[in-house]
Amino acid sequence: MCCSTYLKQHSKFCVLHAISPVHAGAGSATGAVDLPIQRERHTGWPHVQASGVKGAFRDHCERVWMLQDLEVDLEVKEDKRKRADELAKRIFGMSEASKSQAGAIAFSDAKLMAFPVRSNLVPFVWVVCPALLKRLARDLELVGMDAKGLDSVAIDGDQYGLVRGELSGSLILEDLCLETMTGNWLAIADVFKSIDPAIERLVVIPDHHFSFLMETATEVQAQIAIDAATGTTKDGSLRYQELLPADSSLYTLVFFGEERTAETNKIVLDTLAGAVLTAAATHIQIGGDMTLGRGIFQINWLSRGGK
């Protein structure tokens, strides 16, 4: 994304806080889990690929626009379904035999911001690590937001730093036993309080422990298919599906531009951004198994200087 095309003042930091478990499938299995989730190649951390994020926003916005009286000047004057379809094509792009057009909105991958893990002191805490915080600082700066203090965190051994919440003593996270480490975590606490206030109990742990939890602490559920004739399990239908747990916090960077067309009646940036932000104002569904309630996220839009 070229800076001359997508400027900081035209970008948004979109926080996605999972209300339900999320399955953004990897498409192939390499281990015991039949339906694994998408993971970054270099870290092994869960994420949602940008194509899936953009597709979810496009589908959600188009559904909402079908129910709205659009305030966008379009040549299409037929029913709302056709107007919503036309608006989606012009904002998110289209590739058709008769016409192709690049989208006027760009999304990054939905990256992990904080991961919920069960513990001995409270039902669960959110965990982060120095490597994650450095990346978060870089991405916040990319959209012009303050990231002071996130890129200088250091912690090692079998220790944890309490960033937010009230905890004391040894902290057991799955199979890890960590001792508290004193330090000044105020800068991290301030950033997370502003971008995702729902994260009330946050700890920072060493990178190697965080990576271990990313491999072992996701949710795995067994699924079967029922034979309609007998009411029993179909032979060979047992499969295991991996899920990103509820309360996982992710974020995606969203960049707005004017409609990519030579036509004189193109949609200008403010109108384009307003249509998307209004349609996807509070919640969105991303990933598979929508009819099972999977992948419901609460949305929090942020930009330089606040919302």
pLDDT digits (tens, 9 = 90+) for 267-300: 888 888 999 999 999 999 999 989 999 999 999 9
Instruction: Give 164-184 pLDDT, tens digit per residue.
Output: 999 989 999 999 999 999 888
pLDDT confidence of 1, banded at 50, 70, 90? very low
Q: What is the pLDDT of residue 74?
A: 57
* pLDDT, average across residues 143-153: 86
Residue 63 confidence class, pLDDT cut points 50, 70, 90: very high
Look-up of token digits 């067309």: 261
pTM: 0.89
Amino acid 232: pLDDT: 83
Higher pLDDT, 307 or 224: 224
Mean pLDDT of the chain: 89
Rounded Cα distance, 199 and 191, in Å: 11
- For residues 285 and 175, give the distance between their C-alpha atoms in angstroms, rounded to a whole number: 32
pLDDT of residue 2: 46
Res 96: pLDDT:
75
- More confident of the two residues 226 and 286: 286
The pLDDT score that the predictor gives to residue 72 is 60
Please give the average per-residue pLDDT across 107-117, as a whole number.
97
Task: Using only the alpha carbons of the chain, give its radius of gyration.
Answer: 22
Per-residue pLDDT at 116 exceeds 80: yes
Q: Express each pLDDT in 230-257 by its tens digit.
A: 888 888 788 889 999 999 999 999 999 8
| pLDDT reading at 76 higher than 60 | no
